[in-house]
Amino acid sequence: MDSFFSWINLTEHIVFTLVIVILINIYLKNGKEEFFRVLVVGLKALPGVKSLIGKVLHNEVTSFVSTTALAKKNVGKESVQRMQLPKKGISPEELRNEMNILKSAEAESAKEGKIFAYVYTVIDQHWKLQSEAFDKFEEKIGHSLEHDTIVNEFLHAFLHENALNPMVFPSLRKMETEIVSMTAAMLNGDQDVVGFVTSGGTESNLMAVKTYRDMARKSRPNIRLPEIIAPITVHPTIDKAAHYFGLKVIHTPVGDDFRADVQAMKEAINENTVMLVASAPQFCHGIIDPIKELSDLAVAKGLPLHVDGCFGGFMLPWVEKLGYNIPPFDFRLPGVSSISADVHKYGYSVKGSSVIVYRNAEIRKHQIYTYPEWPGGLYGSPSMAGTRGGGTIASAWVSLKALGVDGFMDKAKELMDTTEKMMKGVKEINGLKIMGEPHMTSFAIGPSDKELDIYAVADAMEKKGWTIERNQKPSCIHCSILPRHTAIADDFIRDLKDSTAEVKENKTLAKKGTAAMYGMIGTIPDKTIVSDFLVEFFSEVYK
């Protein structure tokens, strides 16, 4: 036995000597910088060292932040608690007072022009012209005038501020963290749930894909082509993200109820799978995937599950509280690791604001991009965009605060009542049906009569002034119910009934307009031709 331990000690000495020789060789050939890089990499591989370095870094960052404008202006030093939406919407007067406090927290150098980046505008006639342009083109989506007014005031107040550096504009950092916190609480997230504000659902979903790709690279470096498993109804932003970031999407079928086939997703999992995706709801038919079952699958397989709630994230929680049967989809399910939700949809803010929230900070860290070698300084960015306009962050923040829980509940009831009224009207039209069983303020209309061309019905509706969204596989038309629809729901049903009757009487309408185009596209076996058509379309439109 003694000889055995002597052999082990001898082996340790030999290995240690070899390591020293290698390090000396690196120092002589490549210099001090490479020597220390290799040394640190080697040390990080030792058990416990990585976590120790993490603690030291965290302490250093905490110490550094305490010396910045954030600390000097006492912005962000509040106790760390999960902020929730106020029960009742905050009055415009109180919000204006808070706006003044937030503005006063900005770095004095920014106000006085003593900065050399971030803001390239000056307050003059040109600035005023841009503000007026926002007034003219800002979409009024049927809220109270008071709500629209306060949202616009915040948009203007922070229009030229830049969230690229939270140290220069700490008020934007405060508003962003509060938007994330309120969203996390709404989605039943605990104290650990964190996230970032993005420019929209596309960026939120892109960031989720980038995050799980990088997380997989770190834990499974042998993966050559990372794969995402998602139902065919998942939003194309997931495919877009895969295209941009070098992943592959494995599309699985949906059932007759238009919900993801859990067994098919399970069978598609392999050694290259880095994430699962589900929708709440999927945009095509307004139906929630079986997220509870997918959560169980994600836990069993040790995979992250991203829920695309861009469309429904700010509606489903309130519809559930109204008493509708909403299947669980949020952080109450242990397998859900992230959720995207658009503030500029049913959060009723201006366009350009969404939220991506993660179950914990360790996951979120993989979203952040850094580049420490740039001669222009240390670079880091939490999202795709570097520069992020302060106006959209401010308007998202004030929209949530101004509405509060009661305001969101009122909106949800109004829109669900309108949705049910419109769906009932559709079902009473001979030849039409609702596709599946929608869960919220969205539904798809298909033909119950096989002879009826639903795209021709859409064309007829557009001649009456409606803009109609078209779905495919199967053919149907899509309706997202918005605040303005409450006043014109009866007009929609009347025109839809007349359009359906018109198409039934005139079969030639199926061979004209978009009906003919969709019919032609459906017969093309090589979809790359369709892709080329779309490229030509956008090239022509923006010529």
For the segment 424-433, the average pLDDT, to the nearest whole number, is 98
CB half-sphere exposure, 389, CA atoms < 13 A: 18
Higher model confidence: residue 527 or residue 181?
181
pLDDT value for 525: 73
pLDDT of 1 above 70: no
For the segment 149-176, the average pLDDT, to the nearest whole number, is 80
Neighbour-count burial for 116-149, b at 16+ CB within 10 Å, e otherwise: eebeeeeeeeeeeeebeeeeeebeeebbeeebbe
Classify domain 412-541 by CATH number. 3.90.1150.10
pLDDT bracket for residue 79 (50, 70, 90): very low
Higher model confidence: residue 482 or residue 171?
482
As a 3-state breakdown, the chain gives helix, strand, coil percent values, each rounded to 5, of: 50, 10, 35
For the segment 329-354, the average pLDDT, to the nearest whole number, is 96
pLDDT of 69 above 60: no
Please state which CATH class domain 92-405 belongs to.
alpha beta
Token pair in block for residue 51 = 């976590």
pLDDT value for 119: 66
For the segment 80-104, the average pLDDT, to the nearest whole number, is 87
Question: Taking the domains of the chain in order of start, what are their residue ranges?
Answer: 2-65, 92-405, 412-541
For the segment 512-528, the average pLDDT, to the nearest whole number, is 72
pLDDT bracket for residue 462 (50, 70, 90): very high
The helix (run of H) or strand (run of E) holding residue 110 is helix 108-111
Contact 520, 511 (CB under 8 A): no
pLDDT of 5 above 90: no
Least confident of 3-12, 382-391, 448-457, 483-492: 3-12
The helix (run of H) or strand (run of E) holding residue 338 is strand 336-342
Token pair in block for residue 251 = 């599309």
pLDDT bracket for residue 385 (50, 70, 90): confident
pLDDT bracket for residue 251 (50, 70, 90): very high
Higher model confidence: residue 295 or residue 16?
295
pLDDT of 73 above 60: no
pLDDT value for 30: 67
For the segment 449-463, the average pLDDT, to the nearest whole number, is 94
pLDDT value for 4: 47
pLDDT value for 76: 47
pLDDT of 412 above 80: yes
pLDDT bracket for residue 168 (50, 70, 90): confident
pLDDT value for 52: 65
For the segment 162-181, the average pLDDT, to the nearest whole number, is 86
Higher model confidence: residue 53 or residue 188?
188
pLDDT value for 533: 77
How much is the pTM? 0.84
Q: Match 């990372």 to its residue by tokens.
A: 226
For 282-332, write each residue's pLDDT tens digit.
Answer: 999 999 999 999 999 999 999 999 999 999 999 999 999 999 999 999 999
Mode of pairing for the β-strands spanning 273-279 and 354-358: unpaired
Higher model confidence: residue 526 or residue 100?
100
Name, in order, each residue with C-beta under 8 angstroms of 83's C-beta and a sequence gap of 6 or more. Answer: 178, 181, 182, 185
For 37-66, write each residue's pLDDT tens digit.
Answer: 655 566 556 666 566 666 665 665 566 556
pLDDT value for 356: 98
Mean of all residue pLDDT scores within the chain: 85
Least confident of 344-358, 499-513, 515-529: 515-529
